[in-house]
Structure 1
């Protein structure tokens, strides 16, 4: 970490060039002795990558940004705040501290946060930023040390351990499964449960939930499928030293207003029966966290909905309800014959569910321009008949 970057004249130069073409800025070179243009570019690039993801960091004067890969792997403010609501008591060890966003928000809820990061630059950046960010109630203790080695040598017993393992292999390719992560969590359960009461693990949203439960030896008590603005960002696993083959699964879609939240379990999903129906007055599309969790049946029971077809994952009702996802007013339910196709709007937002053609092919075949206020869902009903549901978003 080059502290010359936080000198007033360097910071002013960075601010003046935030909206300039970065390639041209790099070509001009650095006007400052001891500060390379690559270091300046990293700060400009970091600001832009963090503008939506980490607004507090971007608003804070003289903040220091790490390389792009570290920012990519960092939690967002929204997901870090959500994680902080899941923990309690007084002491947590963040064994994979990284850029320090999760540790910062943990310190708003717990008295003592033990941040561990083996990368010296990241450790220095996180420690420096913590000093200039708005203070929280708790205190972060910073350790430039491997997290596993830290808890092995620590005399403390922790209420929580938090791990956000690296999800890239030696060649830099993204990996999905636990045994490919660094550190390999599966090798250290005895140590983890000797040193802590609970574990909170963040993983790739691509990880299969059933495989994850099995890989974690059925220690999983809860799973949180976390989406932000309908894009699944991470899976959170809460573990205790207690076998549980049917953990509670929380699906949350974090929004600017009120979050959408839905709870169920794999056992409940398995035991739920479903009624099917042609589209009625209203159509419902679950948010991405519910679809990721695979709650295609459980949601019908809670909201008293009928499903359009087994594999379409669209739902319907005669009366409008509050629903964790998108809600549409059905205008027409059409079959794919010439007479019906003549009724299709020339401009609409096209989606497919369990349909043989892709959206691009549909728009080309039926000469539909993209956009407008109307929506077309190309799908199949329970009788496997191809249909188009023409609707407006509410």
Structure 2
């Protein structure tokens, strides 16, 4: 790609400025490719948040908006690289072959996942059918120090037919149809990994597939008919970003499930006695938080209600919620769920490594007016969450006459006896007991 020095200088001068202001007001000479420069300024600004390592390299070219939106973040790409290293090390233990290791990324895209994963291998092949992205990869990879990368501009299935043996194949099937609309079902993505499963595993003993976090991973395991050996549910900032499947040769009845949210990691075997609860879907989460307000009694009583052992409240992170492994939490962390549908947990003792947020419970009330008045004493602001509760956050905030914010966290939920409860809490400080 031939880019003038004037264009690079213009990009460097204005890349921290608002792109719209630059487009309207920035002065430039006739040698500046303004549309390209504006696209690069916008791309660098997105990368500075999503890919800070990449943004620190001068001279990289960023693609149009859609590939930038679709590409992995630095955190998720680095996670895949660590996973690839572990899988490669495990394969080496079982395989006496000391030939060079190789990665084939059949859906290269912008190349973020490839750039991190390829460093684990002796040789790496980037495959991408869009010529513009291949051109960007040819420009960027040397700057990123990927001298061992081979770039192939072709359709993934065509390359797969001619591909020799590889140590690992990686795919991130396109999740948009011909009209640009998002798709989620595996069979609707391109390429269709379900159809190619046997061919992929004939070429490589390990295949890693990145899928939409919206998928029902239990059904996905069933769809792959025993080929899934590991499931990784990857979140960052408590937002579920991607579902990673590790496919292997030989049938696996109980895949390893790994729930990751930044530094929090929980793993267990799917199908064992601890994985006996149905995961809550994203749509079900919305539904249980928007119930009919007519179901809410005007007055409730706390007679016979003993919560003296409820000292700490624990809220699982996004990956745990996606996995639905609530029985695993109870077994490993000595916590107890408030009710099977609330997905909030309580304990008498502080837990330092719970995979989620933790709070100190200050007081608990039912929806009885007198109890609520005592619970809200001195409170003008609060952060409110509802789980399995017949009011939305907005409705409850209006009812309690509280503004948003502050250091107090209110959790409204329903216990196993059907009582509507409000728990007043404060966040536990990291490392505090």
The alignment's TM-score, normalised by the length of structure 2, stands at 0.84
Give the secondary structure class of the aligned counterpart of 1:3. Answer: coil
1:252 to 245, 248, 260: 260
> How far off is 1:246 after superposition?
2.3
The answer to whether the aligner puts 1:146 opposite 2:155 as a matched pair is yes
**Aligned-partner Cα distance in 2 for 1:185–1:331:** 50
Kept in 1, the 8 Å contact 2:7–2:33? The answer is no
**Aligned-partner Cα distance in 1 for 2:321–2:356:** 10
Kept in 1, the 8 Å contact 2:102–2:166? The answer is yes
> How far off is 1:33 after superposition?
4.5
**Structure 1 residue runs of 4 or more that deviate by more than 6 Å after TM superposition:** none
> How far off is 1:34 after superposition?
6.3
**Aligned-partner Cα distance in 1 for 2:124–2:395:** 53
The answer to whether the aligner puts 1:263 opposite 2:267 as a matched pair is yes
1:350 to 356, 360, 384: 384
The answer to whether the aligner puts 1:333 opposite 2:353 as a matched pair is no
> How far off is 1:100 after superposition?
0.9
Give the secondary structure class of the aligned counterpart of 2:326. Answer: coil
**Aligned-partner Cα distance in 2 for 1:103–1:225:** 19
- Calculate the aligned-residue CA RMSD, in Å: 1.8
Bigger shift: residues 100-109 or 164-173: 100-109
Q: 1:103-252 residue pairs with structure 2 within 5 A?
A: 103-133=114-144, 135=145, 139-154=148-163, 156-252=164-260
C-alpha change, 1:48 and 1:308, in structure 2 (3 Å) is same
> How far off is 1:271 after superposition?
4.5
Give the secondary structure class of the aligned counterpart of 2:322. Answer: helix
Which residue in 1 is equivalent to 2:19? Answer: 22
Give the secondary structure class of the aligned counterpart of 1:351. Answer: strand
Kept in 2, the 8 Å contact 1:30–1:37? The answer is no
Which residue in 2 is equivalent to 1:368? Answer: 402
The alignment's TM-score, normalised by the length of structure 1, stands at 0.92
**Aligned-partner Cα distance in 1 for 2:244–2:81:** 12
- Measured against aligned partners, the alpha-carbon deviations of 1:270-295 in whole angstroms (never above 9, x if no partner) come to 448xxxx8461111011111111111
**Aligned-partner Cα distance in 2 for 1:84–1:20:** 33
The answer to whether the aligner puts 1:9 opposite 2:6 as a matched pair is yes
C-alpha change, 1:29 and 1:20, in structure 2 (3 Å) is closer
> How far off is 1:17 after superposition?
2.1
Kept in 2, the 8 Å contact 1:284–1:327? The answer is yes
The answer to whether the aligner puts 1:306 opposite 2:336 as a matched pair is yes
- Measured against aligned partners, the alpha-carbon deviations of 1:177-221 in whole angstroms (never above 9, x if no partner) come to 100101111221232122111100001111111121122222100
- Measured against aligned partners, the alpha-carbon deviations of 1:16-63 in whole angstroms (never above 9, x if no partner) come to 222433223324588455654321221111111111210011110111
**Aligned-partner Cα distance in 1 for 2:21–2:49:** 24
Which residue in 2 is equivalent to 1:86? Answer: 83
Give the secondary structure class of the aligned counterpart of 2:44. Answer: helix
**Aligned-partner Cα distance in 1 for 2:350–2:184:** 39
2:319 to 269, 289, 297: 289
Structure 2 gaps of 5+ residues are 93-100, 278-305, 429-433
Kept in 2, the 8 Å contact 1:114–1:142? The answer is yes
Kept in 1, the 8 Å contact 2:10–2:28? The answer is no
Bigger shift: residues 382-391 or 38-47: 38-47
Kept in 2, the 8 Å contact 1:10–1:32? The answer is no
Bigger shift: residues 34-43 or 372-381: 34-43
Give the secondary structure class of the aligned counterpart of 1:106. Answer: helix
Structure 1 gaps of 5+ residues are none
**Aligned-partner Cα distance in 2 for 1:20–1:82:** 32
**Aligned-partner Cα distance in 2 for 1:287–1:13:** 43
The answer to whether the aligner puts 1:50 opposite 2:41 as a matched pair is no
Give the secondary structure class of the aligned counterpart of 1:217. Answer: coil
Which residue in 2 is equivalent to 1:41? Answer: 38
Q: How many pairs does the alignment contain?
A: 380
Kept in 2, the 8 Å contact 1:252–1:260? The answer is yes
